[in-house]
Structure 1
Amino acid sequence: MSVIEEEAVRGGKGVFREICSEDEELQPTEIESLCMNCYQNGSTRMLLTKIPFFKEIIISSFTCPHCCWSNTEIQSAGRIQDQGITYTLKVRSKQDMNREVVKADSATVRIPELDFEIPAFTQKGSLSTIEGLIGRTVAGLEQDQPTRKATAPEVAAKIDEFMERLQKLKDVKSEFTLVIDDPSGNSFVENPFAPQKDDALTVAHYKRTPQQDAQLGVKSDEKDEEKPGNDIVSMRNEVLVFNTNCPECNAPASTNMKLVQIPHFKEVIIMATNCDSCGHRTNEVKSGGATEELGTRITLRLTDPSDMTRDLLKSETCCILIPELEFELGMAALGGKFTTLEGLLKDIRELIVSKNPFTCGDSSTPERTEKLEIFGEKIDKIIAGEMEGHIILDDPAGNSYLQNIYAPDPDPEMTIEKYQRTFEQNEDLGLNDMRTEGYQEEAKDS
């Protein structure tokens, strides 16, 4: 139980209480927080309250005394509603500009008369008035105006003109329409005549589309879920996004995952992580299938620079050999990759020459550095087509792939061999101790 909930329970009242000037116990809870602007300690004030004729919300406000950065945000304290909601308000007077508005981060705001729209998930949730909503929009447009005036004067002039039209809306010299469309159903526009009907405000509920369900992270229709293979089909058509931490700076980041079908091969899972804090980027490929019964050895004879454009899938269990350079790269290096042959050779060059710890600092010797530079020059010659050679992909798990540009006909420059794994290879893959048959019968006997 949180600190706020404990205080509410001890007071004998609910966690969420309506804002009232006579309620002396209704005070925000202050929590020390890290400022993401200057990385000093600031304070966050949180208040759990109710909006009359609506629902419970959480209001949070952060301020930093060091850099004076501040941020306000609201979050719905309830669940995502069964239906989406659309509010259509005819703004006819200045009194309408004072109506309270709860805009969830999933809501889209439109003003048809100006052909203006604030897309969903582009702003944090906010508790404001209609005037404040327009003012926040103007402030957001003004933020980058000095840069635009220096780089794109014509665009800056058009934005200035549009901001003037938005500012004129505050005077309500003519009637305009405000539309708030929220698939989550957690946005709200005040009705000052409640519980009576408001002639200027129209509220409509609707059923969400599968695309809106996916954006909100909720399940689709149960009938669709019962269809066999529906999950796999949806994964093929969507990019899944989940939260993680950056491996470099440990800041919150997002990882994108996509299931991709490689022609004449199998399905693979491509994952990419981007960190907005430090700019670190990683990408990784996982096989979407099981370990094959036989290992695979792919040998390609490099005869033309166009070979560098072949698509290549290197699994985590794949070894790479270049006999002409007496080079072998173990299965643990570079990880899984889906790239071109040129991209793989550049990654090898960077790993061996640029990122090699034995070429830096006290570990470096002139002889070793010279040998590695010569190796890098040979890799560059192979990429440029100035040097012929062979590249071998040896994957005991059978999950690596090299594009056959003559498919479905055989490639005269490429050979694919299937072979039985050795005991040591099965041990490396963890297959010797893996049992998939007979364990249930032994459990019954015991």
Structure 2
Amino acid sequence: MPFLYVRVTKVKLTNPPANSSAFVKLVIGTHAIKTKSQACNDMGWDQVFAFDKEGLNSASLEISVWTEKNWYSLEGGEASASPGNDVMLSVWLGAPAGEAFQEAWQSDSGGLIPETRAKVYLSPKLWYLRLTVIQTQDLQLGSGRSEPGVRNPELFVKGQLGAQLFKTSRTSVGLSSSASSTPTWNEDLIFVAAEPFEPFLVITVEDVTNGQSVGFVKVQLSTIDKRMDDKSEPRSRWFNLIGDEKTKPYAGRIHVRLCLEGGYHVLDEAAHVTSDVRATAKQLSKPPIGLLEVGLRGATNLLPVKTRDGTRGTTDAYVVAKYGPKWVRTRTILDRFNPRWNEQYTWDVYDPCTVLTIGMFDNGRYKHDQGDKKDVRLGKLRVRLSTLDTNRVYMGTYSLMVLLPNGAKKMGEIEIALRFSCSSWISLIQAYYTLVFYYKSFWFES
């Protein structure tokens, strides 16, 4: 799908008005766009505009320079035409690839709207945070800690990291033989911590009988040790509990064990469709075994999902693809039922038994007056890399289905191209062998 590129570099005027600004206006049929305004004594833009050739309804490009007071003709056919008024620009036909297209104003996606631009972003690195609650000592429960007749108050420990909150079981503390004066738990609480980390992990000891907090402590995540395997036990630490910073600065102490587990992969997808199984720690990562190339070519026969101007149906479609921690989003092509993206992306492959996920959506949030609307899913498909032949190009069209309350509905078709390139057969065979050996070992141990 070719585009007509126009790069406006600079303009020179013979007698520019003083203390004024100017801009360049481009017109192709019904498409009209102008550059940023610049002072007349420094008119340099270097802006790129990309016009979708299929959407052009004129064969001529009109270029004009405008100031606050008048406009200047750049044609030199007549003797009386403005001599010395020059514009420096370049015009060419090209594909939607390269740096010029990424920075250009794009006619098929609404220009320079941030919500319609193509984007590549990475998921944050996830760690398992293990909090082992061992015991508490010297708790300052106070005389009015419980209701009359309750001799053994029940305590539990609560850990909170951001919006995640987990609790231990209850244990009694008191003077009777059945209750311990030193509450002990030896329980693990597992959190998921994302980089950049939350500043603190809050550990609180609470009394169930009166619903009040005995004390708390804030642990900085930057001080927690990172563990790569299970050969070494993380060190245990004592922390002083704070009841009230003003009236009760000391409420006892708690014995815990903390560590960030880097030897595991935090599953942020369903296990049967996961796209990454690598451990979190970089020290445990291995070199890639291949390269996955995905071409998001276009879609056909999309159904309208909303109305424009209150009369006709329309669809503003874009595609999202995810593999591993890398997400890509194509540009949104506005008001077309057969959009063409022709965008290509690549991913490093570390394990062949992973899945690529591709989804298509209708963009409902690119207009600022419609910010409360959500994007509508048009369908998705998944590709299991283990079913692909290496170094072979797959091109095909696949149906987009969505599940509605009254049944499945076809929303259109998506056209993609795939290739899984493997530079070393030995690395690929070793990846499969390691996986089979792991399953056999797990089966025998079970």
Q: TM-score range, shorter-chain basis?
A: under 0.3
Larger relative strand fraction = 2
TM-score (norm 2): 0.24
Larger relative helix fraction = 1
TM-score (norm 1): 0.24
